[in-house]
Homo-oligomer: A and B are copies of this chain.
Amino acid sequence: MGRWEPNAQERLGKAALELFTERGYEQTTVAEIAERAGLTERTFFRHYADKREVLFAGTVHFRENFLGTVLSAPASLTPLQVVLAAAQAAGAALEEFRGRDFALARRRIIVANPELRERELIKLADIAVGMAEGLRARGVDEPDASMAAELGMAAFRVAFERWLTDAQERTLPELIEESLASVAAVLG
């Protein structure tokens, strides 16, 4: 192992996002990312498998927040309360991860690239499937388990889009709660 580089992972992430934004994701090389961060390519590969991983580094943790919350939720909670808690836990962690500016830049890069967008959609769809499994394990029948899971994921997605550009700077967990509450309004 080389010498210790303070905050190397975060510096590389920041450099990558800057370059993806300036030049486009496809046009950016790992060598350029390392150079912008003032680090070596070797250091890059100690932290990320490839440049795509810079954008998806938080995925495992994000998924764990969602699914772990479903599995550990008190038995007294309704399916909707479970998915709300799961989406809020994932939202709070995402908000802390690197903040809104990072999330917004990342979002712009992903939307502009079909391959990245597809990976993002698959990630969220797989988490919804995992939440439905978790709810069935809690004794929730179908289609309630799948619909509650889809509802939780929809609330997350809709809240996330609003959070990125929210003038009032509400927190992501607040917006998730508001999105789910709006379902009751839509149903009424």
Contacts and interface: CB of A to CB of B under 8 A. Distances in A.
A182 B122 contact: no
A80 interface: yes
Q: How large is the interface on A (under 10, 10 to 19, 20 to 34, 35 or more residues)?
A: 20 to 34
Given A114-B122, A122-B121, A80 B187 contact: yes
Contact of A159 (B80, B143, B154): B143
A136 interface: no
A121 B142 CA distance: 22
A162 interface: yes
A147 B154 contact: yes
Nearest to A161: B146
Nearest to A78: B186
Interface string A28-56: 00000000000000000000000000000
A186 B144 contact: yes
A112 interface: no
Contact of A158 (B118, B119, B146, B159): B146
16 contacts: A79-B186, A80-B187, A114-B122, A121-B121, A143-B178, A143-B179, A144-B182, A144-B185, A146-B158, A146-B161, A146-B179, A147-B179, A147-B186, A150-B158, A151-B151, A154-B154
Interface of A: 78-80, 114, 117-119, 121-122, 125, 142-144, 146-148, 150-151, 154-155, 157-159, 161-162, 178-179, 182-187
